Amino acid sequence: MPKVTLVNEKKELEVAPGGNLRDEIRKAGVQVNFYPLDTPSGLLGHYLNCFGHGTCGTCKVLVKTGMENLSGKGLLEKFTLARMLTAIGHENEMRLSCQVQVNGDCTIETRPAANWSGENFWQKPYPNK
């Protein structure tokens, strides 16, 4: 059985092959949509999300290792992640947990921080000549 390691929560989950990442994380008692609930964004993410349809982006996770063991990105997931500024700098590692099927071991960071000061966020679109 594939193992999913949740970095922030220091938990390791065993999931069925092909299991949905969001569902498995929630079964383990981890809130994947905006957290904590006592903040305004936490309340919005908890109650105002797409419930796993891939359109809101509140269940985004950062894949630390094992991307090759996860299902590929579909068009809807690519579109949703492209419109989220917080994915800049981590475009290849960021996934929507509701759109991911787990096929092997991986390490996941839930609720990743925004990369507002990262090198890729502020870089110029065209290098100086």
Q: What is the CATH number of the domain that holds 32?
A: 3.10.20.30
The Cα–Cα gap between 121 and 115 comes to 7
In a domain, 119, yes or no: no
pLDDT at 91: 84
Question: What's residue 119's pLDDT?
Answer: 53
Give residue-wise pLDDT tens across range 91-127: 899 999 999 999 999 999 998 876 555 554 444 444 4
Domain range for 8: 3-114
The pLDDT, as a whole number, for residue 121 is 47
40 in a structural domain: yes
DSSP per position, the chain:
--EEEETTTTEEEE--TTEEHHHHHHHTT---SSS-TTSHHHHHHHHSS-SSSSSS-TTEEEEEE-GGGBPPP-HHHHHHHHT-GGGTT-TTTEEEGGG-EE-S-EEEEESPPP-TTSHHHH--SS---
Residue 91 located in a structural domain: yes
Is 107 within the bounds of a domain? yes
Q: Tokens for 90?
A: 């981590």
Asked whether residue 120 is domain-assigned, the answer is: no
Domain count, the chain: 1
The token pair at 73 is 């990105």
Residue 107: what pLDDT? 98
Examine residue 26 and state whether it is found in any structural domain, yes or no.
yes
Q: Is residue 70 part of a domain?
A: yes
pLDDT beneath 70, residues of the chain: 34-46, 86, 114-129
Amino acid 117: pLDDT: 58
* 128 located within any domain: no
Q: Tokens 């100086």 correspond to what residue?
A: 128
